[in-house]
Each structure stands twice: as C-alpha cells, then as structure tokens.
Homo-oligomer: A and B are copies of this chain.
Amino acid sequence: MASESSSNAERAGEILVHLGNAGVDGMSLQALALALGDAKSATRRALVALSKRGFVEPAARYGHYRLGPAIFGLANRTTSVTELVRRYRPAVTEVAAITQQSSYLMVRAGFDAICVDMHEGTAFVQTLTGGIGGRVPLGIGPGTVSILTLLDDPLALSILDHNAPRFGQYNRADMAKVTRELDRARALGFSYDIGETYPDAGGVAVPIVSSRGNTAAAVSIAIPASLLTQKRAEEIAGVIRAAIGKCAPA
C-alpha cells in the first residue's frame, strides 16, 4: 500500500504505528520497508534516528526492531488521555457490567480511533479493536462513527475521504453507507451497527462531549448481532449515556 508520506516525520510516526502491531519480536528492516513502501536505506535511516532517543530499540532477533522505552515513558505524560481514562473508566466498567458485553473507550487520533481503555465482557467477541492501543479507521464501527459526530462536517468528510480506500476490508464498499450512518448517528445522538462491519457482530456507541474541547471520544460496546435490534440499541445507548453522565467533569 503506497502511503502518501510527504514529510519524514510522518514516516517516523508510520514506523511507530507498524512496530506497535509487531510485538516483542519486532519487525525486520525489509518488512518495515515493505510496509512503508520505501527503500530499505531510507527506512533504516529513520530507524536509527528514532533509536537515538529510545523510541525504537533493537529486538532480540538480529536486525529486528521494536518499540523502545521512550514510548512507554511518554505515555504517562499524555495527560489528556490519562485524565480521560481516569474519568471515564467507571463508565466503561459499568457498561460492561450491565450489558455483560465488552466495552471500550475510544479517542480520535488523526484519521483513526484508538482504544485507550476497555473492559472484557463475559461473552462473545473480545477485542474487536485489537485491545488497548488498537487503531481503527474513523468510519469503521459505531464507536468511530460516534466520534465523527463530534467533528465539524468538512473535517469529518475529509477524514472519511482519506479512509475510503480502507473501507473495502470492512464491508464498506461505498462511502455513502458510512455517511448515512453518520447522519443517523447525528440525529439519534448515538451510533449502532448490526452486522454491518463484522458479520454477526454488532455495536453501540455514545459520543463523549468533552468538557474542554479538542479531544473527541466515545464509549462503545461490542455485542452479538443476534442480540441487537434498533430498540435494543436505543436502550443500550441510554445505559451508556447514563454511565457517562455519572462521570463528573473534573
């Protein structure tokens, strides 16, 4: 996949994202270069640049690289997110407890949504989002659609346009389908999905109107499609909204 990496700093971010999905063993140079669509020499250069501050470090296997301690260290400094998690964790756990399903706290990160907190439910699909730290393109899944409702329309559309090439992997052949979901979510105040993203999987999400702007987030659940109807979705949305409401603004 040729990614339009204009700046070199973007490439650095791209590398970090890819290594984040790699695990302890990391990735080899050529695997990274292939994923980025760049030459090995260019990839390596960025790699050593990131190594200088410890954002990347050599893995156990020869010539493999993985995320370094600098990332971990910085995580405790992302106060905007840590505060968000601390405040809304009660909602995430409560929603999971009531619905008996896995619940997630998703926040916007560029063109994607990232899962920053979750609570495993008793049943069914676990980690549709790939667990904490998992990235999903905005427009894929109800959680991300709810986040989009918090954004200005031109911004939301530009994001959808950017992500359109990736929709095919998720039964989103045409973008119109996603924009319809977005419109519905704006009207209802929540977003739901019955087997439209993943077969047999459904979801419900309620956006979090952040007290002090800028961070767009949502609380969502994953639930078997067989258990979900529009009426049930409304009920669940009410549960989520109530749980969010209990989390007082700092």
Contacts and interface: CB of A to CB of B under 8 A. Distances in A.
A50 B16 CA distance: 11
A189 interface: no
Interface string A17-30: 10111111000000
Interface in A108-158: 108-112, 114-116, 131-135
A49 interface: yes
Closest 7 CB pairs of A and B: A54-B109, A75-B75, A8-B8, A73-B133, A9-B49, A9-B12, A7-B49
A80 B24 contact: yes
Given A7-B46, A9-B9, A52-B10, A80 B109 contact: no
Given A8-B7, A109-B69, A110-B52, A133 B76 contact: yes
Stoichiometry, as copies per complex, reads 2
Interface string A71-113: 1111111111111000000000000000000000001111110
B69 A107 contact: yes
A127 B139 CA distance: 42
A229 interface: no
A71 B22 CA distance: 16
Interface of A: 6-14, 16-17, 19-24, 45-46, 48-55, 57-60, 66-83, 107-112, 114-116, 131-135, 212-215
6 contacts: A17-B53, A24-B80, A51-B110, A57-B214, A70-B110, A71-B77
A232 to B, nearest CB: 30
Contacts of A17: 53, 70, 74
Chain A interface, >50% SS class: mixed
Nearest to A134: B73
A131 to B, nearest CB: 7
A131 B79 CA distance: 14
A79 B131 CA distance: 14
**Interface hub of A48, A57, A215 (most chain B Cβ within 10 A):** A57
Give the most central of A50, A53, A135: most B CB within 10 Å. A53
